[in-house]
């Protein structure tokens, strides 16, 4: 993966990744190929924070609040079992960092209602999820809670699926609004002037010229050059660099950095019936399912309906087994499937055999590690407690700045 540089002011230095998952219990192949494998890659390239969004579960499942804990530990076992590495990534639990609630509250004050009502998932879920009463304050405000999660860690990147991109967009808008409102500290202009002087004569002149070109003519190249100029002055205090950026871009000081969504080009992992793999469809293969159960599920999974008999040729594009081959098989095997299927040269059970073997092979070490982790629950609790400590440290600092910017740091 190439390291893109986010295009927001402060964020150009920010290589922190943050992502969260609701506590949904044991993970399945959809989670593994859609999300977790991406996390495994990211943890080598970025400073990663991965957390359990347990309060988010409450926004829709408040009546089952007592189920959250068990689901959470099951999920965490699987995170570690697949290789999320506490030596590289911080793993924590949202509700153990109460600062998330404080930031949520403060952000909620400046978030226009219309922004929330326009979030696509809001109306959709209100209409689709009829078995629960989602006409609550918490459900409407859920994207603000997510914004607080992200902004708390000044994450530059948020790996999410397609459906979550509007939430990251909203987070950017909230950050921008917050910075605009509270980033103009008293005496901002004179502090900017003082910061410019610290650049030295030549650079100060250059900065003023570039700022003028950008602000008067919208010159993007000038903006880029000026940003680089500021970033290049690492000996300038961070506060001053923020002010220079804020003055350049016509905002205030950046208190909350705008994140970017990091779209996963994840393999599409369909369920056993070809629909999205999801517990609610009952079409999953769990990472810790018994091998016999997995084999049984795959053997009985539907194939191209046109192949009612062994002698009928089929079309892999109409068969969910083919989707599994795309993920699990090499080119040679896929050629064999394609030819065998379209000419009725192979039977469906025969075709499934390499998939069965690959899935079992992939899951064996995961199942074994999960058993070890379960047997050593102290280890897991330690990992999480250390992750929470690290998260709390960042959250503490962010809230300090936020309260300061809003004038809420009373002495």
Phi, psi of 300, rounded to the nearest 5 degrees: -95, 5
Residue of the chain from 256, 319, 356, 359 that contacts ligand SF4 (CB under 6 A): 319
322 binds, among ligand TRP, ligand SF4, none (CB under 5 to 8 A by kind): ligand SF4
Q: What tokens were used for 304?
A: 């191209």
Stretch that binds ligand SF4, among 114-122, 135-143, 208-216, 343-351 (CB under 6 A): 343-351
356 belongs to the binding site for ligand SF4 (CB under 6 A)? no
341 contacts which partner out of ligand SF4, ligand TRP, none, CB within 5 to 8 A by kind?
A: ligand SF4
Contact call for residue 348 and ligand SF4 (CB under 6 A):
yes
Distances (CA, A) of 254 to 98, 160, 229, 275: 23, 24, 17, 43
User: Does the protein bind ligand SF4 through residue 155 (CB under 6 A)?
Assistant: no
How far is Cα 240 from Cα 235, in angstroms, rounded to an integer? 10
3-state secondary structure of 60: helix
Q: Does 323 bind ligand SF4 (CB under 6 A)?
A: no
Residue whose tokens read 């369920």 = 271
At closest approach, how far in Å is the CB of 332 from ligand SF4? 15
**19: Cβ–Cβ under 8 A, 6 or more apart, which residues?**
35, 39, 48, 49, 50, 51, 158, 159, 160
Which does residue 22 bind out of ligand TRP, ligand SF4, none, counting CB within 5 to 8 angstroms by kind? Answer: ligand TRP
Q: How far is the CB of 7 from ligand TRP (least distance, A)?
A: 19
Q: Shortest distance, CB of residue 55 to ligand TRP, whole angstroms?
A: 8
CB atoms < 10 A from the CB of 118, how many? 12
Supply the DSSP symbol for 277. P
Measured distance CA(318)–CA(327) in Å, rounded: 16
Residues that bind ligand TRP (CB under 6 A): 18-22, 53, 56, 146, 149-150, 158, 160, 164
Shortest distance (Å) from residue 124 CB to ligand SF4? 32
Q: How far apart are CA 76 and CA 395, in angstroms?
A: 22
According to the binding rule CB under 6 A, does residue 50 interact with ligand SF4? no
Judged by beta carbon distances under 5 to 8 A according to partner kind, the member of ligand TRP, ligand SF4, none in contact with residue 307 is: ligand SF4
Pick between residue 20 and residue 271 the one whose CB is nearest to ligand TRP: 20
Cβ(298)–Cβ(4) under 8 Å?
Answer: no
Closest CB to ligand SF4 among 35 and 341?
A: 341
Q: How far apart are the first and last CA of the chain?
A: 47
- Contact between 307 and ligand SF4 (CB under 6 A)? yes
| Dist CA 375 CA 287 (whole Å) | 17
Cα of 375 vs its chain's centroid, Å = 29
Which residues lie near ligand SF4 (CB under 6 A)?
A: 303-304, 307, 314, 316, 319, 321-322, 337, 341, 346, 348, 351-352
């Amino acid at each position: 993966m190439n390291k893109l540089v986010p295009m927001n002011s402060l964020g150009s230095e920010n290589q922190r990744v943050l992502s969260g998952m609701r506590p949904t219990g044991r993970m399945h192949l959809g989670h593994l190929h859609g999300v977790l494998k991406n996390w495994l890659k990211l943890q080598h390239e970025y400073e990663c924070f991965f957390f359990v969004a347990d309060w988010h579960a409450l926004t829709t499942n408040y009546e089952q609040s007592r189920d959250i804990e068990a689901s959470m530990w099951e999920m965490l076992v699987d995170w570690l079992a697949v290789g999320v590495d506490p030596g590289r990534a911080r793993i924590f639990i949202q509700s153990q960092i109460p600062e998330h609630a404080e930031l949520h509250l403060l952000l909620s004050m400046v978030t226009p209602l219309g922004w929330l009502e326009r979030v696509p998932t809001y109306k959709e879920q209100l209409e689709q999820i009829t078995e629960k009463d989602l006409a609550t304050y918490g459900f409407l405000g859920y994207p603000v809670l997510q914004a607080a999660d992200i902004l708390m860690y000044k994450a530059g990147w948020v790996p999410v699926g397609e459906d979550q991109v509007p939430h990251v967009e909203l987070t950017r808008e909230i950050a921008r609004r917050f910075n605009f409102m509270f980033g103009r500290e008293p005496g901002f202009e004179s502090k900017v002037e003082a910061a410019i002087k610290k650049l030295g004569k030549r650079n100060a002149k250059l900065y003023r010229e570039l700022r003028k070109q950008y602000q008067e003519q919208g010159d993007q190249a000038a903006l880029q050059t000026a940003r680089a100029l500021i970033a290049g002055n690492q000996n300038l205090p961070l506060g001053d660099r923020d002010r220079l950026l804020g003055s350049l871009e016509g905002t205030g000081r950046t208190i909350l950095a705008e994140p970017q969504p990091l779209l996963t080009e994840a393999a599409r992992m369909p369920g056993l019936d070809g629909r999205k793999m999801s517990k609610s469809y009952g079409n999953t293969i769990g990472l810790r399912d018994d091998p016999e159960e997995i084999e049984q599920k795959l053997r009985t999974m539907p194939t191209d309906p046109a192949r009612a008999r062994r002698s009928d040729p089929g079309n892999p594009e109409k068969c969910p087994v083919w989707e599994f081959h795309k993920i699990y098989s090499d080119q040679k095997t896929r050629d064999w499937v394609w030819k065998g299927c379209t000419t009725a040269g192979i039977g469906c059970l025969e075709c499934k055999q390499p998939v069965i073997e690959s899935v079992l092979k992939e899951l064996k070490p995961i199942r074994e590690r999960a058993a070890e982790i379960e047997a050593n629950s102290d280890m897991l609790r330690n990992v999480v407690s250390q992750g929470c400590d690290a998260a709390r440290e960042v959250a503490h600092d962010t809230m300090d700045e936020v309260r300061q910017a809003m004038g809420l740091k009373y002495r």
